[in-house]
Amino acid sequence: MEIIRKVLAENKKWAEKTVAEKPDFFTDLAKLQTPEILWIGCSDSRVPADKITGTQPGEIFVHRNIANLVIHTDVNLLSVLDYAVRQLHVKHIVVCGHYGCGGVGAALSNHNFDLVLNMWIRQIKDVYSLYKDELENITNPAQKTDRLVELNVIEQVKHLAKTSIVQRAWAHESLPHLHGWVYGLKDGIINPIFEMHPGDAIDPLYVYDDI
């Protein structure tokens, strides 16, 4: 229980320090949430969206899961996406992975993680399958993992563009812009690797013609 007491104590210190520096901070924050960015990141505790971007509470709307996946049957992700796009009218959606991702590393193994985790990392294995020729030419294990991290981010951005939520917003608001980023744990730098913008072409099979 010591870690819980420590976290609560640090929260109290932070709140007191914040009020001392900006007396109206929490009053103003409670009134309005107008983030321009939806962040879809990895659950890894080393990749907190606000810390690595230097943003303040209220500036980024955040969803996190293992290996920053966008799965078309994930109601949790889709509810966040729908709210961010249709209610908050975010201008940008960022899918941010990170080099050295444990979820991606697990997908490269043949280990049985049982039940839910097997189903989850199956999505990453499917990305590997798409780029199998490229990935199997990489002999260094760390480099292979990091390249799959990048390719996974690219595919998740493409998955966003395939949703009716994003396509409707593209058609009626010319927003949001989609970004694929990878964060470096070793240097703290974000590497932008992929973008999609309203009107960009996607596979016609996934295009809705009545939105």
- Active-site position among 28, 46, 122, 200: 46
Q: Which of 44, 63, 64, 179 is catalytic?
A: 44
Q: Is-catalytic flag, 159?
A: no
| Element (DSSP H or E) covering residue 118 | helix 115-130
Q: Is residue 197 among the annotated active site residues?
A: no
CA 102, distance to chain mean position in Å, is 15
**Alpha-carbon span 156 to 111, nearest angstrom:** 24
* Active-site entry in 63, 64, 98, 159: 98
Hey, is 42 helix, strand or coil?
strand
Whole-angstrom Cα distance, residue 99 to residue 76? 25
Rounded-to-integer distance, Cα 131 and Cα 142, Å: 17
Tell me if residue 46 is catalytic.
Answer: yes
Among 42, 63, 146, 147, the active-site one is 42
Comparing C-alpha atoms, which of 156, 150, 166 is closest to residue 200? 166
Catalytic, out of 63, 64, 96, 101? 101
Q: Which residues are catalytic?
A: 42, 44, 46, 98, 101
